[in-house]
Amino acid sequence: MSGQRASDQSKREQLIAAVLRASRESSTIAVFFHASMADRMGLGATEEKTLSLLGRLGSMTAGEIASQTGLTTPSVTSLLDRLEGKGMVRRVRDPHDRRRVIVEPDPERMEELNRMFYSVQETFQDLLSAYSDEQLEAIADFLTRSVQSSQELIAALRKKDED
């Protein structure tokens, strides 16, 4: 019986190692993929991913962008200067608090970006069709929890930098 448990544990350790390895490889290729897609629009990967955040979450302040990305405030300012110069975003005063500046994505440029990614989504739709509902639930749970863990790690890095 203990031999079976050791075998099960060994298989589990192998599966965990395989998931961690695949996750690392997926992360690496995602960075290169987004850099390639961004380049097609004359953007850097950070610019493209920031636009993706704005497209998903809506208009934000520079501080909110810093919080979401883990970038420093000066880096976000530089990033927004570049995006504004390329006509991708505009800064507007908050009508309720004139001291606050809100970053709004340009709808036409966002549509252009969305069109570029549409075929990619189709590819992943086809890939996901091979999985059962239970497997899709597990994949969605893993990805959601990975994002949460990454956000916590970003926050910890920012806190460490501030200390």
pLDDT per position as a tens digit, 60-114:
999 999 988 889 889 999 999 999 999 999 999 988 888 888 999 999 988 888 8
CATH domain 43-130 topology: Arc Repressor Mutant, subunit A (1.10.10)
Residue type, 159: K
Banded model confidence at residue 3, pLDDT cuts 50, 70, 90: low
Buried b or exposed e, range 27-48, using 16+ CB within 10 angstroms: eeeeeeebeebbeebebbbbbb
If one compares 48 and 4, the residue with the highest pLDDT of the two is: 48
Instruction: Enumerate the domain spans of the chain.
Output: 43-130
